[in-house]
């Protein structure tokens, strides 16, 4: 699968390769990798989906309690904020 640039926000470049993602902060030179699920959640966050909307969507795909999904989504969003991604 060819590389696909998803979004560029200020100094952030997001690249998708084989359903996984890499976030590159051009200004700081740091990068983060996202597995397929992380990339999927990131895309929903960029579409301004709420944590509850994301949890409902993931609940349809995975056999996981919504409370666990919400906890994981909130932790993921917090991590992205700490890294200056969202």
What pLDDT is stored for residue 47 in this prediction? 93
Question: Model pTM?
Answer: 0.81
**C-alpha span between 65 and 26 (Å, rounded):** 37
Residue 73 in contact with residue 65, Cβ under 8 Å? no
Q: Could you tell me what percent of the chain has a pLDDT over 70?
A: 88
pLDDT at 9: 58
The stretch 38-53 carries a mean pLDDT of 94
- Please, which pLDDT band fits residue 5 given cuts at 50, 70 and 90? very low
Q: Is 54 exposed, middle or buried (0-12, 13-18, 19+ CB in 10 A)?
A: buried
pLDDT bucket at 2, cuts 50 / 70 / 90:
very low
């Amino acid at each position: 699968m060819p590389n696909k640039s998803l979004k560029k926000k200020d100094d952030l470049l997001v690249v998708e390769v084989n359903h996984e993602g890499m976030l590159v902060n051009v200004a700081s030179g740091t990068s983060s990798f996202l597995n397929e699920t992380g990339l999927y959640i990131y895309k929903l966050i960029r579409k301004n989906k709420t944590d509850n909307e994301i949890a409902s969507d993931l609940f349809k795909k995975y056999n996981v309690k919504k409370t666990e999904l919400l906890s994981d989504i909130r932790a993921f969003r917090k991590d992205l904020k700490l890294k200056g991604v969202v």
